[in-house]
């Protein structure tokens, strides 16, 4: 009898701790101004942020040390560093390198909302963004505005 009660108690505590963990892993999109210097230094160490670059929007699930999908004034980037391997997954494109940029915010079949980036060299990657529709639209529209502006800048440079 005591063993059964102990097992039930252990299972209940485990479920409670799992619930707390899942709540703490909520998706977060923040303004780049809210990232602290430690987070910004970490992103620079990954080679995804220059000193003169400004993070505008940043999305993460667990912590900025583990995942990051973000937009700066120069690029859009994504990384996943879950096992202390700095080369695990990281992708980025400067806006002028982008050939195609589109969003899929249907969130079907357990697949999150994504922004697809195809670079002019043919390589592709995905930036994941979850949140309410307005925030996701803001994230995508900010990236699209930078991309469109870079295309105009490229045209102006070519004409000179």
- Domain span at residue 106? 27-159
Q: In what order do the strands lie in the sheet with 55-60?
A: 28-31, 55-60, 67-72, 75-80, 89-94
Residue 124 covered by a domain: yes
Q: How far apart are CA 78 and CA 58, in angstroms?
A: 10
Query: In 3-17, which positions are buried (b, 16+ CB within 10 angstroms) versus exposed (e)?
Result: eeeeeeeeeeeeeee
Q: Please, are residues 40 and 55 in contact by the beta-carbon 8 Å criterion? A: yes
| pLDDT for the residue 130 | 80
**How confident is the model over 63-73, as pLDDT tens digits?**
788 888 999 99
CATH number of the structural domain spanning residue 147:
2.30.29.50
| pLDDT for the residue 99 | 94
Q: How many residues does the chain have?
A: 160
Q: How far apart are CA 136 and CA 57, in angstroms?
A: 10
Residue 96 covered by a domain: yes
Token match 């209940």: residue?
A: 12
Show the low-confidence residues of the chain (pLDDT under 50): 1, 16-25, 156-160
| pLDDT for the residue 71 | 95
Q: Is the pTM of this model over 0.85?
A: no
Residue 84 covered by a domain: yes
∠ at Cα 42 (84, 130), nearest 5°? 85
| pLDDT for the residue 18 | 42
| pLDDT for the residue 159 | 38
| pLDDT for the residue 20 | 42
């Amino acid at each position: 009898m005591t063993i059964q009660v102990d097992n039930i108690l252990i299972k209940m505590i485990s479920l409670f701790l799992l619930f707390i963990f899942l709540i703490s892993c909520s998706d977060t999109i923040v303004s780049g101004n809210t990232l602290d210097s430690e987070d910004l230094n970490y992103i620079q160490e990954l080679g995804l942020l220059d000193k003169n670059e400004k993070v505008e929007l940043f999305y993460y699930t667990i912590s900025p040390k583990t995942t990051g999908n973000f937009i700066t004034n120069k690029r859009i980037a994504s990384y996943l560093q879950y096992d202390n391997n700095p080369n695990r997954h990281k992708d980025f494109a400067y806006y002028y390198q982008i050939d195609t940029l589109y969003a899929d915010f249907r969130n079907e079949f357990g697949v999150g909302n994504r922004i697809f980036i195809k670079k002019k060299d043919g390589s592709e990657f995905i930036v994941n963004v979850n949140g309410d529709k307005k925030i996701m639209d803001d994230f995508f529209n900010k990236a699209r505005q930078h991309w469109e502006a870079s295309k105009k800048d490229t045209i102006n440079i070519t004409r000179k």
